[in-house]
Amino acid sequence: MGKHSSAPMQSPAGRFQPPMPLPQAQPLGVFALVRTLRSNALECWTKAHFEQAIVLGGFPFAQVAVVSDPRSVRQILVEDQSTFRKSTIERRVLSARLRNGLVSVDGDQWQRLRRTLAPMFARKTMAGFAPQIGGATEALIERWQNLPEGTVIEIKTEMLRYALEVLLRCIFAEGIGDPEAVRTATTRFYSTCGTLDPFDVIGLPDFVPRLTRLREGPIMRAFDDELKKAIAERRRSLAVSPNATHDMLGAMLAARDPDTGASMTEAEVKDNVLTFIFGGQETTSSALTWAIYLLSQSPEWRERVIEESRRLADASWQTAVEGLVQTRAVVEEALRIYPPIIAITRTAIRDTEIAGNLIKRGTLVVVSPYVLHHHRLLWRDPDLFDPARFSPNASEKIERYSYLPFGVGPRMCVGAALSLQEATLALASIMRRFQLDLAPGQNVWPVQSNFTLRPRGGLHMILRRRGTSARGSSRPTDIVANK
Ligand code: HEM
């Protein structure tokens, strides 16, 4: 298939075209489709997906409707939850691993959990995690400061480590027995479970064994053991000081369903810890990785971020996070160009209609953030990197249902506020301290792998310390570290 060049084309005002596959001229045949879904789902889209409001297609076992019309997106994700349920494919892929986690349950069980967990994910509660984000950012900056000048680092791995660190600090403020065991387990978890099983994709029934699941058992047991110990310890400390609910684990153990007063079971707490790590690490690290790459290709936007970060270096956290307007625009644009989750899926549980098309019961309904964000009918120059779209006085008004990195509606991402503030603050801190350039021979290509959009083979960059900041300090205080 044709591809855009991986050498970005520059245009004025820091806009350029980042690398991405050219859409297929025609739909792939079944075997090519299954093969491509496994190697890089991003290369399956056809021109029609980016030009039409709805594209119907599918496999012998499953009908598929890819929907990109904002009104229909609203119908599917917001208004008609009783017809469009979490898809069978998601249930197969996620429930086996995350059991009763918020992302994988449905119906009454989901409603009860979401109600119970809602206060924990309120914007105000999330803002309270600033010190945890600050601590993790400081640790990253310090580690990088100690590397020899010119070291080549792999950004995706670094960001995975950073995002996990933030999550572990937010979930276990009192620490976890063996954090290294958890780190190892998450890495193995993604590399083992992170590939779509073609049997799930083509809709073969559950009783057909999936080879991709055979190696998962021991990894899940390692997680379970660590979590069990952490929960038991926290229950003991909560018995002594019942108000010690300053982290996600404490908040979950203390949470009550506002309707029934019921608390979460131990299994639910465990499954949701796993869900937050799973839901938050890959995704946020992917957003940060792409933002760093995109800035490395746009000197104008890099300078704006550095200038803004320097200006706010001594500000309180609250002022900093509100003031990092340009940095946040870069993060939002990175989430547009390379949305970590490229497809949100639902199953139509009865015959219905979308934009005048008959949708048969059992159809897999796909709302793809990637397709929406690059759709010809919804964006001006959709393939160009241009964070100005997200600046407060942008000329282009962004239509609510055409920009969905975190989904929308009742099942919208609970971690959106946390990851946006984490990515914005980390990006500003990193850019102010370090110059990051692509390593020689590094070709950047987006690939759907381990559930998210990653740079194929990683993103290798040369790390150099920046000269002294505008304020003259040779080692400026990190934005988030001094709150
Ligand atoms: C850049 C970062 C992130 C992206 C792009 C992202 C993306 C998404 C998307 C698209 C959904 C909606 C799926 C749907 O409607 O079917 C979702 C749901 C979810 N996300 Fe995130 N997420 C991110 C960060 C996080 C973080 C940090 C956490 C946890 C701390 C998290 C936990 C969850 C959970 C639990 C759900 C399921 C919500 C429900 O079904 O009620 N995510 N995420």
Q: Is 482 a domain residue?
A: no
Ligand 1, atom 7, lies closest to the CA of 406
Q: Is 24 a domain residue?
A: yes
The rounded distance, in Å, linking the Cα atoms of 229 and 2 is: 52
* CB-based pocket (< 6 A), ligand 1: 102-103, 114, 275-276, 279-280, 283-284, 287, 340-341, 344, 405-407, 411, 413-415, 418-419
Average model confidence (pLDDT) for the chain?
85
Instruction: Say if residue 381's pLDDT is above 90.
Output: yes
Q: What is the pLDDT of residue 91?
A: 62
Residue 72 class from Cβ within 10 Å (0-12 exposed, 13-18 middle, 19+ buried)? buried
Q: Is 188 a domain residue?
A: yes
Q: How confident is the model at residue 475 (pLDDT cuts 50, 70, 90)?
A: very low
Q: How confident is the model at residue 222 (pLDDT cuts 50, 70, 90)?
A: confident
CB-CB contact of 442 with 19 (8 Å): no
Q: Is 4 a domain residue?
A: no
Q: How confident is the model at residue 92 (pLDDT cuts 50, 70, 90)?
A: low
CATH code of the domain containing 129: 1.10.630.10
Sheet holding 460-465, edge to edge: 151-154, 460-465, 434-438
Q: What is the pLDDT of residue 342?
A: 95
Q: Is 169 a domain residue?
A: yes
Chain Cα centroid distance, residue 131: 21
* Closest of 227, 243, 230 to residue 278, by C-alpha: 227
Instruction: Say if residue 478's pLDDT is above 50.
Output: no
Chain Cα centroid distance, residue 461: 22
- Closest ligand 1 atom, residue 114 Cα: 41
Q: Taking the CB of residue 152, how many other CB atoms lie within 10 A of it? A: 14
Residue that wins the pLDDT comparison between 197 and 145:
145
Candidate from 413, 420, 422, 451 with most ligand 1 atoms within 8 A of CB, to mutate = 413
| DSSP code for 41 | G
Instruction: Say if residue 207's pLDDT is above 70.
Output: no
Residue-level length of the chain: 483
Place of tokens 């105000």: 124
**Residue-wise pLDDT tens digits, 50-66:** 999 999 987 767 799 99
Q: Is 194 a domain residue?
A: yes
Token representation of residue 143: 């580690």
Instruction: Say if residue 270's pLDDT is above 70.
Output: yes
Residue that wins the pLDDT comparison between 178 and 262:
262
Instruction: Say if residue 408's pLDDT is above 80.
Output: yes
Q: What is the pLDDT of residue 127?
A: 82
Number of separate domains in the chain: 1
Residue that wins the pLDDT comparison between 218 and 5:
218
Instruction: Say if residue 201's pLDDT is above 60.
Output: no
Range of the domain at 412: 9-465
Q: Is 289 a domain residue?
A: yes
**Residue-wise pLDDT tens digits, 127-138:** 888 888 988 999
Q: Name the amino acid, one letter, at 399.
A: E
The rounded distance, in Å, linking the Cα atoms of 80 and 361 is: 14
Q: How far is CA 123 from CA 50, 97, 115, in A?
A: 34, 28, 15
DSSP assignment of 108-140 equals HHHHHHHHHHGGGGSHHHHHTTHHHHHHHHHHH
DSSP-based three-state secondary structure for 288: helix
130 Cα: distance to centroid of ligand 1 (angstroms): 19
Chain Cα centroid distance, residue 15: 24
Q: Is 54 a domain residue?
A: yes
